[in-house]
Structure 1
Amino acid sequence: MSRIAKSAIVVTALWVGQAFVTEVEAFVDPAHVRSQLPAFEQYVIQSQARTGVPGLSIAIVAGDQVVYLEGFGVRRIGQPAAVSPDTVFQLASLSKPVGSTIVAGLVGRGAVRWDARIAALIPGFRMNLPDTTARVTVREMLSHQSGLPEYAGDVLVDVGFNRHELMTRTRFITLEAPLGTHYAYSNVGYTIGAAAAARPTGLAWEDVAKAVLYRPLKMHSTSSRYDDFIDASNRADPHVRSGSTWVPRIPPNDDEAESPAGGVSSSARDMANYLRLHLRNGRFEGRTVIAPRALEETRTPQISTGSGYYGLGWNVSTDPEGRLRLNHSGAFNSGAATVITYYPSEDVGIVVLSNSFPIGLPEALADGFFDLLYKGAIQRDYVPLFGEFYARFWQSIIDLYPTYPPPPVPAPPARPLASYVGAYTSDLYGTAEVVRMGQGLAVRLGPKRVTYPLEHYAGDLFLFRPVGENAYVPSGAHFGFAGHGTARTLLIDYYNTEGKGTLIRAGNDPLPGNIQEPLRNPTKLVKRVATQTNRLQSALGRSPLAGVWTVFKRYSYANNFVVANVFNRYLAVNLARVFAHP
């Protein structure tokens, strides 16, 4: 993202943490940018026609001038209202660079430090490992290196948990790597980092965002509150594909719980001002809004992503000519796709907003624009190129879930429906209720008590189709039994991408312990414990582990995850009784 002579200087500045100069000489003449706009607009029109994407809004800034600001298409399929530069779109993950800019504003004011520890900012905060709890910082959360698994916890938002609950329940997510050693994109982690940074102000994140960034930049249509997006009179409704056509997806995705990571809504006009701030290194209309040194830190590489680097809310890379490039995309499965890309030393950037399921069109338009700018012609057919990338991306997520072919005919029957009815709980996901609905069953999930009918598949397996930003395929609901009577466990595929999807019937064995992970070698463990407790058994005149052996021998050859969880809990109950005996 730098021009050739200056690119080495800028890249070096990034690596050693030097601040860019406040006033940047424009290497790209705004007049040259304007000369490419007719060809670019034709490219936009053709690409929108190819894809059928309902609406687009685009801003281009060069030399602190808004040289292009235009809307295309409609706010909602089937209605005449046109998209304009003031139409408000959901930004999805383009919210992340906005969020880190807000935190930079706080850092520049001395309200918080990038390396402030989360536990010091949020009393009682905990993660799955004590060392990570004690040391994780705002910087590590905003650069996705906290050790949280990729996308872990996002389903909590779908079923209605608020931001406070997200931060509280993070302690139940098993970390996949030591702190600072591994990049894994985490909306929950990013939200925690930003919300923690705002804590010293005593204000809600949404109010901090307005005071630090939106109001000073005259971003009058921008908000971090979902209700403000819903209430906007000039709003772009999200769309998803249904076969070969686009249809509105109502209601839009509510991501306010993760607002710093994905909950901002804005217009192209407002985002043009945001671009001007970054291209002027924290200045807007002649005054400093964000301290340059704090803003510089957001675009300093923090960790390798494997294909580039991630800063604080920015992807940091170079283009084939060595120019420094900063960008971030936003993607809602429920119908929003956005991108921002800018070249700091070139003093030029673009924002593309759309109201469609992500198929790569914003990225294709942005890359086409820079081809025109630097090479005079579009070099590649970017629309199918990015379309294929996104198709693979969505398929990789779908592949995380089990698939269910047509059941055998006849399918093994279900047990009496009353044996499935009840409340099931887990530390991470709270309560799921299985209730009677008509002649069948339904499951209610989360604080929203979102209700889904259960369709019998075979035996103790039922299916339902969740709706939400993180819902992609039908989910299995697997009931586990320990003998006859009522079900003891409920494994929900929708919840199980990190192996945390097993819930236990409320009231069963309310003892501590992680029942999500089956014992690696239960035979060895039980024998070792039995040997170590011979003296206790003799003193008691009976075998307190006899019940454990009975259950284990019955199920040890069943290759069943749920059964292993039941056995794990049963073992914990009995061992607790053994070791608690005087």
Structure 2
Amino acid sequence: MIIIKINILAMKTSFRIFAVFLLISGSFNTRAQVSPKANTLDTYFLEALSKWEVPGMAVAIIRNDTIELLKGYGVREIGNPGKVDENTLFAVASNTKSFTATAISMLIDEGKLKLDDKVVDYLPWFRLYDPYVTLNMTIRDLLCHRSGLETFSGDLIWYGSSYSRDEIIQRASFLKPNYGFRANYGYSNIMYLTAGQIIAKVSGMSWDEFISSRILTPLGMNHTNTSITKLDMKGNTAMPHNDVDDKVIAIQYLNWDNIGPAGSINSSAADMIKWIEFQLKKGKLNDQVLVSEKSLREQWSPQTIQKVSAFSEKLWPSTHFKTYGLGWGMMDYHGKKVISHSGGYDGMISFSAFIPEANLGFVILTNKNSSLYYPLSYKILDTYLSNDTIDWSSKFFDLIEKNKEAELTQKKEDEQLRISGTSPTLSLNKYVGSYISLIYGEAKVELVDDKLYLKFLPTPIFHSPLEHWQYNTFTIKFPDVPALPEGKVSFILGPDSDVEKMLIDVPNPDFDFTELDFIRQK
């Protein structure tokens, strides 16, 4: 069974640097020319878009300094005629991490910090669960996902919440590690947020200002921004979409400003291919060096090893290693080193990649919570790096359909295991109250129209009626977050037969509700 969801991002700059940026700002001298390979892919993309029921997509491919494909497909919003083009804006989510890592590299080039500097030297208030890890965590550790935390641990602190960037990092001190320090890969958005706050501390400007003035403006990424507050929702902006009750629906953008350095950038195919070309040119823009090749090579070098699963070995026998560098993932494919990153936003999935040996790079932006980018990325790689003609779109579509069937079977099995004819141990008003999690904060259970109702106070989108399941367990379904499935809330009684704690489980690949241990306040 396969689940592919990504999930599950100061104006003290000297006048000298600003003047240099004015001189070199703008586009690369890149020629546009559609190749036969790109023509073949163009047809394939159209068919795949329809098959996967994704409303819209934009794709860019560059090879040997020539843009071979730069095109939009489908519509910006289902039910509306506005077409996607090369300048349509999408949330690129975790593709933001490569920008944050490059910003760190720029500061290293300037001698303002080092990769192996301790985090506490810049953020003295930084804390993690283990004091040893707190004192020894380096900037490198922040950027290569080896803090010891499980993948996505703590993401419920920031997702849709009112917490500031500093408050999120402070709350992460209560997250219990799942691995030894530097012993295992565990993808962490909060560690990237921490790196962003170091950028702000060292540069004297916010992370957003640094990314805009030092990267976006010089590269001529004029449509790109770091916050959905800068999007024109009635303009050339793609809307996010999800599948709900077997229908594709448009959903509202969710503000990710509080996790900005990990995932808040919005961009277009035309702008993102400039970012990829910048990588292929090893940090140069029209012969001007914005970031040293030495620093970029460090970003593209293995830092944390990832496992190649048996499933992966069978499907892609030419892939022998997978690893994470600094802001980029790496693997080998058809004898070439592929450097890439994906991005998963609410109702949008994106992917960017480049292959230095082949002088090839590409970007895929989609406006639905769909794994379509995955087969398309392999189709592009096969087309340019081999003679393989595998129909990855059909292969993965079938795999995901089987996965859906397995999920339905599991749901039926859960129903069969349900013990019928039970009732809550206590009267409903005994479950009402304030519940505190050190990691997250406060949640409240209220009695509304003779039914229990759960609210996560820092996160207004997390609210749900509690429907009785069995004994002291209830089901929940967050109406404002349709991508999340139904979950369960179990109330645990103490020795005095009063409610002591509340445990929540919403099975999904992006957010771990089980790490939130809500204790009822007396």
Q: TM-score, normalised by structure 2?
A: 0.83
| 1: CA distance, partners of 2:258 / 2:403 | 24
Trace 1:467-506 onto structure 2 (pairs within 5 A): 472-482=484-494, 486-494=498-506, 497=512, 499-506=514-521
1:346 aligned onto 2:358 = yes
1:303 maps to: 304
SS of structure 2 residue aligned to 1:436: strand
1:564 maps to: none
Distance change in 2, residues 1:31/1:225 (3 Å): closer
Trace 1:78-93 onto structure 2 (pairs within 5 A): 78-93=79-94
2:318 maps to: none
Shift of 1:388: 6.0
2:384 maps to: 373
Aligned CA RMSD, in angstroms, stands at: 3.1
SS of structure 2 residue aligned to 1:488: strand
Higher mean alpha-carbon deviation, 32-41 vs 42-51, is at 32-41
Question: In the alignment, is the contact (CA less than 8 A) between 1:398 and 1:472 conserved in 2?
Answer: no
Structure with higher helix content: 1
Distance change in 2, residues 1:433/1:230 (3 Å): farther
1:176 maps to: 178
Trace 1:196-211 onto structure 2 (pairs within 5 A): 196-211=198-213
| 2: CA distance, partners of 1:345 / 1:381 | 25
1:315 maps to: 329
Question: In the alignment, is the contact (CA less than 8 A) between 1:159 and 1:446 conserved in 2?
Answer: no
| 2: CA distance, partners of 1:498 / 1:398 | 22
Distance change in 2, residues 1:466/1:156 (3 Å): farther
Trace 1:527-542 onto structure 2 (pairs within 5 A): none
Shift of 1:319: 1.5
1:356 maps to: 368
SS of structure 2 residue aligned to 1:166: helix
SS of structure 2 residue aligned to 1:317: strand
2:469 maps to: 457
1:108 maps to: 109
1:444 aligned onto 2:455 = yes
Report the AA paired with residue 239 of structure 1.
Answer: H
Distance change in 2, residues 1:169/1:392 (3 Å): farther
1:329 to 316, 326, 342: 342
| 2: CA distance, partners of 1:131 / 1:283 | 39
Higher mean alpha-carbon deviation, 205-214 vs 32-41, is at 32-41
| 2: CA distance, partners of 1:399 / 1:152 | 28
Higher mean alpha-carbon deviation, 169-178 vs 383-392, is at 383-392
2:271 maps to: 270
Shift of 1:394: 9.5
| 2: CA distance, partners of 1:30 / 1:269 | 13
Q: TM-score, normalised by structure 1?
A: 0.75
1:69 aligned onto 2:70 = yes
Question: In the alignment, is the contact (CA less than 8 A) between 1:337 and 1:356 conserved in 2?
Answer: yes
Gaps of 5+ in 2: 1-29, 309-321
Report the AA paired with residue 500 of structure 1.
Answer: E
| 1: CA distance, partners of 2:367 / 2:406 | 23
1:417 maps to: 428
1:3 maps to: none
Shift of 1:166: 1.7
Question: In the alignment, is the contact (CA less than 8 A) between 1:90 and 1:264 conserved in 2?
Answer: yes
Question: In the alignment, is the contact (CA less than 8 A) between 1:137 and 1:193 conserved in 2?
Answer: no
Shift of 1:485: 6.7
1:569 maps to: none
Shift of 1:179: 1.9
Report the AA paired with residue 288 of structure 1.
Answer: V
Paired residues, number: 474
Report the AA paired with residue 474 of structure 1.
Answer: E
Shift of 1:72: 0.6
Trace 1:236-251 onto structure 2 (pairs within 5 A): 236-248=238-250, 250-251=251-252
Question: In the alignment, is the contact (CA less than 8 A) between 2:119 and 2:139 conserved in 1?
Answer: yes
| 2: CA distance, partners of 1:394 / 1:282 | 43
Structure 1 residues 231-262: Cα deviation after superposition (integer angstroms, max 9, x where no partner): 572111111123554221x2124333222222
1:166 maps to: 168
Report the AA paired with residue 137 of structure 2.
Answer: V
Structure 1 residues 446-467: Cα deviation after superposition (integer angstroms, max 9, x where no partner): 3134432121222322221136
Shift of 1:279: 0.7
Higher mean alpha-carbon deviation, 225-234 vs 466-475, is at 466-475
